[in-house]
C-alpha cells in the first residue's frame, strides 16, 4: 500500500497567504477602516476566494486581527511582569516594547465601535493598560512620576499620546524608532527631559535588536 502524500508545501503556502492577508488588512484598514475584503484581497495580491477561504467574512478577519494583537500585547506585558527595576526604566522599556505594535493599538481603537465592539477591544487592551498603570502607580509612590492624576487616568493620557505620535509618523511629519516616544512619555509623567533622554538611551542600548 502506498503511503499518503504529505502536502506540507501546500500548508506552508496557506499559512503564508493567511499571514500576508492579515498584514495587508492591518495596513489597508489603518488607512481606511471601511476597506472591503475585495480591496484587501487585491492589495494582498490574492483572489477574493483566497481571503474567504481563511476568513468567511469581515467579522472573522477582524476577530483574527484582534486575537493577533492580543497575543502580541500579552507577550509585551509578560516581559514587564515581576520586574523590580526603577519605574522610569520600566516605563521606558514598556513604551519601547509597545511601539513596534502601536499600529495594532491604533487599528483596534479605530474599529472598536463600528466592528469589533468596545468590550472586545477593551479585553484586548486591558492587560497592557493595567501594566502601564502599575508602572505609573509605582513611580508615583516613589516620587519619580507626577502625582496629580490617578495612575489609570495618567495611563490613558499616555496612551492617547502614543496614538497621536503614531498618527504623526503615519502622516509622514515625524519619524521615530520608539525612543522619541519613550522620552515623551517619561517627560509627560514628570521626569526631567535630560534624565528621560538618558534613561531611554540606556534602556534602548540593552536591546540587542536595536
Q: What is the pLDDT of residues 45-64, one digit of tens each?
A: 999 999 999 999 999 999 99
Residue 11: how many CB atoms within 10 A of its CB?
A: 10
Euclidean distance between CA atoms 25 and 183, whole angstroms: 31
210, part of any domain: no
Residue 186 has pLDDT above 80, yes or no: yes
31, part of any domain: yes
170, part of any domain: yes
Domain at 38, CATH number = 1.10.10
90, part of any domain: yes
User: Confidence band (pLDDT; 50, 70, 90) for 83?
Assistant: low
Statement to judge: residues 130 and 199 lie in one domain:
yes
Statement to judge: residues 9 and 63 lie in one domain:
no
Mind listing the pLDDT tens digit for each residue in 171-185?
889 999 999 999 999
Predicted TM-score (pTM) of this structure? 0.83
Mean pLDDT calculated for residue range 106-117: 79
Statement to judge: residues 95 and 178 lie in one domain:
yes
Statement to judge: residues 74 and 38 lie in one domain:
no
* Inter-helix orientation angle 179-189/87-98, to 10°: 140
65, part of any domain: yes
User: Which domain, by its residues, includes 181?
Assistant: 58-205
67, part of any domain: yes
Statement to judge: residues 65 and 38 lie in one domain:
no
Number of domain units in the chain: 2
The pLDDT of residue 114: 78
Statement to judge: residues 71 and 112 lie in one domain:
yes
Statement to judge: residues 114 and 165 lie in one domain:
yes
The percentage of the chain sitting over the pLDDT mark of 70, rounded to a whole number, equals 92
Statement to judge: residues 41 and 64 lie in one domain:
no
- Listed residues 56, 87, 102: the one ending a domain: 56
Mind listing the pLDDT tens digit for each residue in 197-208?
999 999 999 987
Mean pLDDT calculated for residue range 68-76: 85
Statement to judge: residues 48 and 69 lie in one domain:
no
- Listed residues 56, 76, 98: the one ending a domain: 56
Amino acid at each position: 500500500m502506498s503511503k499518503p502524500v504529505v502536502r506540507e508545501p501546500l500548508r506552508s503556502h496557506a499559512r503564508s497567504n493567511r499571514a500576508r492577508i492579515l498584514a495587508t488588512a492591518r495596513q489597508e484598514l489603518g488607512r481606511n477602516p471601511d476597506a472591503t475584503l475585495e480591496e484587501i484581497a487585491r492589495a494582498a495580491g490574492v483572489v477574493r476566494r483566497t481571503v474567504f477561504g481563511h476568513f468567511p467574512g469581515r467579522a472573522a478577519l477582524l476577530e483574527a486581527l484582534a486575537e493577533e494583537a492580543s497575543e502580541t500585547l500579552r507577550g509585551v506585558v509578560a516581559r514587564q511582569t515581576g520586574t523590580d527595576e526603577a519605574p522610569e526604566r520600566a516605563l521606558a522599556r514598556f513604551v519601547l516594547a509597545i511601539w513596534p505594535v502601536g499600529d495594532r493599538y491604533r487599528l483596534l481603537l479605530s474599529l472598536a465601535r463600528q466592528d469589533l465592539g468596545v468590550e472586545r477591544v477593551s479585553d484586548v487592551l486591558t492587560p497592557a493598560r493595567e501594566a502601564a498603570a502599575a508602572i505609573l502607580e509605582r513611580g508615583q509612590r516613589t516620587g519619580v512620576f507626577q502625582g496629580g492624576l490617578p495612575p489609570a487616568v495618567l495611563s490613558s493620557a499616555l496612551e492617547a499620546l502614543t496614538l497621536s505620535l503614531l498618527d504623526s509618523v503615519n502622516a509622514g511629519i515625524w519619524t521615530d524608532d520608539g525612543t522619541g516616544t519613550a522620552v515623551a512619555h517619561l517627560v509627560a509623567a514628570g521626569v526631567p527631559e535630560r534624565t528621560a533622554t538618558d534613561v531611554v538611551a540606556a534602556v534602548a542600548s540593552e536591546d540587542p535588536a536595536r
